Structure 1
Amino acid sequence: LPGVDDQPPSALDPGRPLLCIPLLTRRASQGVLTLSPPDERWDADDAVMLIELTRRASIALENARRFEHNRDIAETLQRALLTELPTTPGLTLAARYLPATRGLNIGGDWYDAFRQPDGSLITVIGDVTGHGLHAAVMMSQLRTALRAYAVDGSSPGQLLTRLHLFLHRLRLDLYATAVIARFHPDDPTLTWAAAGHPPPVLRTPDGRVHTLDAKPGAMLGIPLKQEIRDHTVPLLPGSTLALYTDGLVERRAHGIDPGIRRLAEELGGFRPTELDEDLETSADRLLHPLLHDCEHDDDVCLLLCHVHGHGRRQRAPES
């Protein structure tokens, strides 16, 4: 094979036979496997076995390339839809998204935050069942639908009910879970609703942590008529709300409840000034013990919402 640096032994011995087998796929050849026999000639049975082995290798190579292509598309789509968090007086937001550490576990995890016409801030975190490009596309549709439904000032429960009908009518055999929380600048009350999602965790200014596990709705999209209810809780200055997906707290060997308790313990261990002064660093510190030395099979989303404590000076947003 002239011009090829890695030449087979027959290049030194032109009389020695070669077995050249194309790596064929449904679309095109991916190359040629060139083999030189260990002895004077190829045995017929060996040649048949090697041709079959090469055929299977061709299929594996094509699948690997398609796997990588779909993963890259899903990652690009998912990251493009991660929201740049808005600046809101009296409230600081910090979000983290971490892809799964192994496998094609690009999924439908997402977070979002946006204002309603009355000045309220809607924060949401959700998860579409399944993985891969299909789940990522469905996630993008739900995110867009939610922003459209929120224009009329609907409450979190009403928004989740509409999303449930939207997903159910599509009949795509995909389901979703979500939590929506609403903050209003003139109302010291948090309004929230959940649909099949791990419960929000609220840290009050005294350092105590409460799991907001009031009765949630069922998963979005299942064949069930449901009206998802709103829940409220007082929101004092210095409070911090944590919204997250199950990839943060669920482990196959232990389930989800121990992970939620550990999240609550870690959040309760912060000093009030830490959350008030640097929520971004606090988000990293919160993730580290929960994911340290652990391969997570699912994506991880975390959204922290911190109400400024009394006496904090407000910085003007950068232009």
Structure 2
Amino acid sequence: MVNTHGIDYEAVFQALPSAVALFTTDLVYVDVNEAFLSGMGRTRDQVVGRYLSDAFPDDPKDPAVTGMRKLQASLQWVAATGQRDAMTLHRYDVEDPDRPGVWEERYWSPVNVPVFGPDGRVVLLVHREEDITELIRSRGGTDRATVLEAELYTRAGELQEVNERLREAHAREREVALSLQEAMLPAPVPLRHHRAAVRYRPAAGVLNVCGDWYELVELPDGRIAVAVGDVVGQGLAAACVMGQLRSALTAASLVTDGPAQALDTLGLYARSVDGAESATAVLCVVDCTNRTIAYSSAGHPPPALLYPDGTVDFLDQATDPPLGARPEHSPRRPQAEAAFTEGATLVLYTDGLIERRHEDIDVGLTRLADSLARHQGTDPDTLADTLLADLTPPAGGSDDTALVVLGL
């Protein structure tokens, strides 16, 4: 590829002195440079187009050699989270292409980096590695500086093992947090005259889960209160805070006069709950008799109202700072009202549905509106699944997502 400045980036890629490879997010080799092929003793046809584990399996005769499996786990993590991962020293041996079954002991220092597409999704993975085998082998030499450097690499390998154990512990916490989340976000009681769908999709990352929640309840006077929220924080702590805020808002909706007062009460309560400040929430109260939606938002993305003709309005005229964000509590949250026609659909969601790294939020809102317009007329369950399929990355989002779809 040559840009407007005449730079041939393909030539640059091939001339890089370090071994560099490009992967798809499914871990298929897209391209490799000459240094990579030289270091691995492979031809381009033996690598490009093949899965990582097929092109370079671990030595089946030595179960202690797990470097390729660790590399695979790192690449999958980068694809899922969109974050760079600089791996510490690890060993994976390379099979001699001329002597099948003969493996050479090799040591590597890799780094894996995501490449983002125009929509903010990870589209490629850059893998660069340095072969430090000779450095490790020189540990027994007389060069004190080299010995110390090799010792640092060895300690780095030990640190990697510690980090992997921490990741395993975080994964266990994720499982517990998700179980708690599932218990606190049950399917809502069916509404008498309206169809609704709720969804919760956890983040792909290890800890970025359990801060999002939803609520859908029929009020005693026949109106419907529907809300979503997002807690700042991760894991078990966020799940516990989420449960408290969800219950508190449900109670406030039953005894206050409208969504602004309910969020005001919730904001006051949030000041007494560790980890609840700066949480966001939006509450809509649907009056089906008068066909109006009263709403108020505490720093949350605006609900979307899909009309029968396919047009979409975002309910963004009553937005205030997140819960407890002001130095002093202010009991004057804004409230607005929107009219709807029969056959409309109300959609509430958390930011995991629309936000992408390196992308303005308006791009995500436009993407949501386009998806809603394309699928106008579908039932809430189908629309909820379609929105998740349309708007979340194939490898999973970096933030969890809560979604409520209410047919009006």
Specify if TM > 0.5. yes
Q: Which residue of 2 aligns with 1:151?
A: 254
2:388 maps to which of 287, 291, 295: 287
- 4+ runs of 1 displaced by more than 6 Å? 48-51
The secondary structure found in structure 2 opposite 1:114 is: strand
Deviations 1:9-34 (A, max 9, x none): xxxxxxxxxxxxxxxxxxxxxxxxxx
Question: How far is 1:86 from its partner?
Answer: 2.5
After superposition, residues 250-269 of structure 1 pair within 5 angstroms as 250-269=355-374
Q: What code does the residue aligned with 2:187 have? A: E
Q: Which residue of 1 aligns with 2:401?
A: 300
Would you say 1:123 and 2:235 are equivalent positions? no
Q: Which residue of 1 aligns with 2:266?
A: 163
2:339 maps to which of 217, 220, 234: 234
With normalisation by structure 2, the TM-score equals: 0.59
Question: How far is 1:152 from its partner?
Answer: 1.7
Distance 1:7 1:104, change over 3 A: closer
Say which is worse superposed, 93-102 or 278-287, in terms of deviation: 278-287
Would you say 1:114 and 2:227 are equivalent positions? no
Q: Is the 8 A contact 2:214 2:229 kept in 1?
A: yes
Would you say 1:225 and 2:329 are equivalent positions? yes
Q: Which residue of 2 aligns with 1:247?
A: 352
Alignment coverage as a number of residue pairs: 267
Q: Is the 8 A contact 1:246 1:300 kept in 2?
A: yes
More contact order relative to length (CA 8 Å, sep ≥ 6): 1
Question: How far is 1:118 from its partner?
Answer: 1.9
Which runs of 5 or more structure 2 residues have no equivalent in the other structure? 1-61, 65-104, 106-138, 141-146
Q: Which residue of 2 aligns with 1:138?
A: 241
Q: Is the 8 A contact 2:383 2:405 kept in 1?
A: no
The secondary structure found in structure 1 opposite 2:368 is: helix
Deviations 1:143-185 (A, max 9, x none): 1111222332431111111111111233547421111111234
Deviations 1:83-139 (A, max 9, x none): 312222332111121111233211310111112222222111110112221111110
Deviations 1:257-287 (A, max 9, x none): 1111111111112243x3xxx3211221222
Would you say 1:75 and 2:178 are equivalent positions? yes
After superposition, residues 11-26 of structure 1 pair within 5 angstroms as none
Say which is worse superposed, 55-64 or 219-228, in terms of deviation: 55-64
The secondary structure found in structure 1 opposite 2:302 is: coil
Q: What code does the residue aligned with 1:132 have? A: G
Question: How far is 1:248 from its partner?
Answer: 0.5
Distance 1:64 1:151, change over 3 A: same
Q: Is the 8 A contact 2:307 2:341 kept in 1?
A: yes
Distance 1:53 1:246, change over 3 A: closer
Which runs of 5 or more structure 1 residues have no equivalent in the other structure? 1-5, 9-37, 308-319
The percentage of aligned residue pairs carrying the same residue is 34
The secondary structure found in structure 2 opposite 1:250 is: coil
Q: Which residue of 2 aligns with 1:206?
A: 309
Question: How far is 1:256 from its partner?
Answer: 1.2
Q: Is the 8 A contact 1:109 1:127 kept in 2?
A: yes
The alignment's C-alpha RMSD in Å is 2.9
In 2, Cα distance between the equivalents of 1:7 and 1:248? Answer: 41
Distance 1:233 1:54, change over 3 A: closer
Distance 1:294 1:264, change over 3 A: farther
Distance 1:62 1:299, change over 3 A: same
Q: Which residue of 2 aligns with 1:94?
A: 197
In 2, Cα distance between the equivalents of 1:106 and 1:133? Answer: 9
Q: Is the 8 A contact 1:83 1:113 kept in 2?
A: no
Distance 1:235 1:89, change over 3 A: farther
Question: How far is 1:292 from its partner?
Answer: 4.7
Q: Is the 8 A contact 2:170 2:206 kept in 1?
A: no
In 1, Cα distance between the equivalents of 2:215 and 2:63? Answer: 56
Q: Is the 8 A contact 2:196 2:380 kept in 1?
A: yes
In 2, Cα distance between the equivalents of 1:122 and 1:170? Answer: 23
The secondary structure found in structure 1 opposite 2:360 is: coil
In 2, Cα distance between the equivalents of 1:76 and 1:7? Answer: 34
In 2, Cα distance between the equivalents of 1:209 and 1:7? Answer: 57
Would you say 1:59 and 2:146 are equivalent positions? no
Q: Which residue of 2 aligns with 1:311?
A: none
In 2, Cα distance between the equivalents of 1:52 and 1:264? Answer: 52
In 2, Cα distance between the equivalents of 1:267 and 1:50? Answer: 53
The secondary structure found in structure 2 opposite 1:78 is: helix
Q: What code does the residue aligned with 1:158 have? A: Q
In 1, Cα distance between the equivalents of 2:226 and 2:169? Answer: 35
